[in-house]
Structure 1
Amino acid sequence: MVVGLGPGGAEGMTAGALEALGQAEVIVGYHVYIELIRDLIGSREVVSSGMTQELERCRQAVRLALSGKRVAVVSSGDPGVYGMAGLVLEVLEQAAPDSRLSVKIIPGVTAATAAAALLGAPLTHDFAVISLSDRLTPWDLIVRRLEMAARGDFVTVLYNPRSHGRQIQLRQAGEIFLKHRPSETPVGVVRNAGRDGEEVWVSNLQKFTGLPVDMLTTVIIGNSQTRILNGRLVTPRGYQT
């Protein structure tokens, strides 16, 4: 099972995710996410490791599952959105292409929708989700995608917007959108959505890069229709037109 944990904590999980964790004999995941669900694990076997160890975790999970154990690979948010679902399926194909091992993907609340709920209703029309991390995707390709989203008037959600080693990418993304949208375009910024230390800001395209944005932050850039209503971001769907 590949389980989406949502933002973290039982209150943000689906019933299906809680059921999957309850059925698992072994739980595999990034050590930070394991700690988020420590109270749900009990005395069961845990396989955890740090950042950049995703491939090895998936290999261990597949080996354990092929040995007959019920394994849950946990992923924050939704496992199919920048998560572990694809990698698990790739590793299984490489390790045992003829296996009939059952793999169940359990969806979860992804950062885009968790942040949107705190900001109001910014995603009620077409939107794009783009990660600014260039660890696995070349920056020039990310820039092309940002340009297309900005030109296409998509509400745009930015994942992994800034880290200690990546300080200029968010500023460049802001500059790209400023070429196509007014500086007053609403922007919502949410840090630690659904977790301890949750913070929410409503800003605009001119000013949002000055906020304390890091890897725990999700940025939502409005489109030409997005407005601020009573302090909440709203992108009209068009029902009243």
Structure 2
Amino acid sequence: MSKLYVIGTGPGGLEYLPPIARKAIEESDQLVAYGLYLDLLGDLITGKTRHDRPLGEEIERARLALQLAAKGENTALISSGDIGIFAMATLVFELLDKEPEAGWEKVDIEVVPGISAMQAAASKIGAPLGHDFCAISLSDLLTPWETIEARLNAAGQGDFVISFYNPVSIKRDWQLAKAKEILLQYRPATTPVIIGRNLTRQDEKITVTTLAELDPTQVDMLTLVMIGNSDSRHITVEDGEAKRDWVYTPRGYSKKITFAKPSLERQPDEAINS
């Protein structure tokens, strides 16, 4: 049976490529992806056949991958981040469901997860995803804006930490500003906001601002925007002249931890032996 690997390669840096994804790429002869995602893999794809398809041809990419696999070619459909989060995996199964072609039923499909942009951004700045969170795509190319706006209001009311995917593009330059306006109805203007661009790549840039000061003109499609909830905290740790910014979202442990120093006194035998 032919194999179709549906692979998430992580945010970009090869050190973030999961071993299972590396193995799947090694076992594939045909690689289908947006060209940039293949370029980021460097020497890992040497000797393999590339099928580059531009942005906007996602359906064609998924269909081609299924067709190649159906012909007996071990094939990898590749996306950055986690391919199951706002990415190509859903298209593979939607085509199987809605427009199946002869031979596709024989393809052995394996979805290989990757580290998502929101996980990468969170790890770089602390623990902003420490409590309930959600992810919302601000692209209204496939989802009506009315639906996105309803989800923004629901996430605001629920006080979720929110990661915005597809926040701004050349043709979509107002949605992030509108999302900011909506969320300011539900949480403080001082709420921490993390802006991560080209995460884990050579020109990575991560900044922390506030919801009030969030500037949508500084964001593009290579950027992930993460909005804290009403409890999220931005702290600065100083060591001499060095400073390090951290953002975390508490889970409520402060209600359980007294922060008292543990007693070093000998406990009763029954307590020790229990």
Q: Scaled by the length of structure 2, what TM-score is found?
A: 0.85
Is residue 2:141 matched to residue 1:173? no
Superposition deviation, residue 45 in structure 1: 1.0
Contact 2:233 2:247 in 1 (8 A): yes
The 5-angstrom pairing of residues 229-240 of structure 1 reads: 229-230=235-236, 231-240=245-254
Indicate the residue corresponding to 2:189 in structure 1: 183
Residues 186-223 of structure 1, C-alpha deviations (whole Å, 9 max, x = no match): 11111111112111111111001256111111111111
State the secondary structure of the residue aligned to 1:240. Answer: helix
Q: Deviations over 1:110-162 (max 9, x none)?
A: 11111111121100110010011111111111111101101110011111111
Partner of 1:51: 55
The percent identity for this pair of structures is 44
Confirm whether residue 37 of structure 1 aligns to residue 44 of structure 2.
no
Q: How does 1:8-23 map to 2 (within 5 A)?
A: 8-23=12-27
- Which residue, out of 131, 135, 139, partners 1:133? 139
SS at match of 1:8: coil
Greater CA drift, 34-43 or 71-80 = 34-43
Question: Aligned partners of 2:103 and 2:138: how far apart in 1?
Answer: 33
Distance in 2 of aligned mates of 1:38 and 1:90: 30
2:10·2:114 contact (CA, 8 Å) conserved in 1? yes
- State the alpha-carbon separation in 2 of the partners of residues 118 and 184 from structure 1: 21
In structure 2, C-alpha distance between the alignment counterparts of 1:228 and 1:196, rounded to whole Å: 25
Runs of 4+ in structure 1 over 4 Å off: none
**C-alpha separation in 2, matches of 1:224 and 1:96:** 52
Q: Identify unmatched segments of 5+ residues in structure 1.
A: none
Match of residue 102 from structure 1: 108
8 A contact 2:9–2:81 mirrored in 1: yes
Higher Cα Rg: structure 1 or 2?
A: 2
| Aligned twin of 2:271 | none
Task: Give 1:60's match in structure 2, choosing from 32, 43, 64.
Answer: 64
Taking a change above 3 Å as real, the CA distance of residues 190 and 211 of structure 1, as seen in their structure-2 partners, is: farther
Distance 1:16 1:98, change over 3 A: closer
C-alpha distance in 1, partners of 2:163/2:63? 31
Task: Say whether the 8 Å CA contact 1:170–1:209 is kept in structure 2.
Answer: no
Cα distance between partner residues in 2 of 1:99 and 1:211: 46
Indicate if the aligned counterparts of 2:176 and 2:216 stay in contact, CA closer than 8 A: no
- Verify: 1:86 aligned to 2:83, yes or no: no
| 8 Å contact from structure 1 (residues 62, 91) kept in 2 | no
C-alpha RMSD over aligned residues = 1.4
Q: Give the superposition deviation at 1:239.
A: 2.5
SS in 2 for 1:137: coil
Alignment of 1:112-127 (within 5 A): 112-127=118-133
When structure 1 is superposed on structure 2, of 127-136 and 86-95 the one drifting more is 86-95
Q: Distance in 2 between matches of 1:96 and 1:79?
A: 25
Distance of 2:103 and 2:157 partners within structure 1: 42
User: Secondary structure in 1 aligned to 2:171?
Assistant: coil
Residue 223 of structure 1 pairs with residue 229 of structure 2: yes
Look up the equivalent residue of 2:145 and give its one-letter code: W
- Count of aligned pairs: 241
Task: Provide closer, same or farther for how the CA distance between residues 221 and 62 of structure 1 changes in structure 2, counting only shifts above 3 A.
Answer: same
Give the TM-score of the pair, scaled to structure 1. Answer: 0.96
Instruction: Give the 3-state SS of the residue equivalent to 2:47 in structure 1.
Output: coil
Question: Could you say which residue in structure 1 is the equivalent of 2:262?
Answer: none
> Which one of the candidate residues 207, 210, 213 is aligned to 1:204?
210
